[in-house]
Amino acid sequence: MAEDVSLGVLLHIAHRAMETKVFAALAAAGIDDITPAQAKLLARVQQDGTRLTELAEAAQVTKQTAGYLVDQLERAGYVERARDPRDARARLVRLTDRALALVPVARKAEAETEAEWTAHLGKRRMDQLRDNLTRLREITDPYIDH
């Protein structure tokens, strides 16, 4: 019964369903060299670049794991390391054009998934779901800009 499944599991199932559709769309577009772990880190790179320690914290992985994933992404051409203009000793991880090309493919798959969910739940319920999750983010996402 659905009542026996925890909210965490239900959220995880929905997340994984969307993630699976995004990765299928990327693969169909010929982009098959990104793993979910790499994508989790890649999604946290800010437009002006992000320090490795900040990426590790935001992705909730160790600095060593983040470094390993960034090394893989750099070899694949999705990120580059550059000097931080605010601190010459520090390095920033920045997205390359190759990484930016992933965004429209992923966004389209996300939009298609949301449309499927809206067709199943109805617009009112989907709007409520989005509103409730957005409100929960206020107290659950330590990286949100307040």
Q: What is the pLDDT along the chain (146 residues), one digit of tens a residue?
A: 557 899 999 999 999 999 999 999 999 999 999 999 999 999 999 989 999 999 999 888 999 999 999 999 999 999 999 998 888 888 999 999 999 999 999 999 999 999 999 999 999 999 999 999 999 999 998 877 65
Q: Using the structure block, give the residue that is written with the tokens 């992923």.
A: 106
CATH number at residue 73: 1.10.10.10
- Does any domain span residue 4? no
Please tell me the total count of domains within the chain: 1
- Does any domain span residue 3? no
Distance (Å, rounded) from C-alpha 57 to C-alpha 80?
Answer: 19
For the beta carbon of residue 37, count every other beta carbon within 10 angstroms: 15
Distance (Å, rounded) from C-alpha 110 to C-alpha 25?
Answer: 10
pTM for this entry: 0.83
- Where in the sequence is the domain holding 108, given as residue range(s)? 9-140
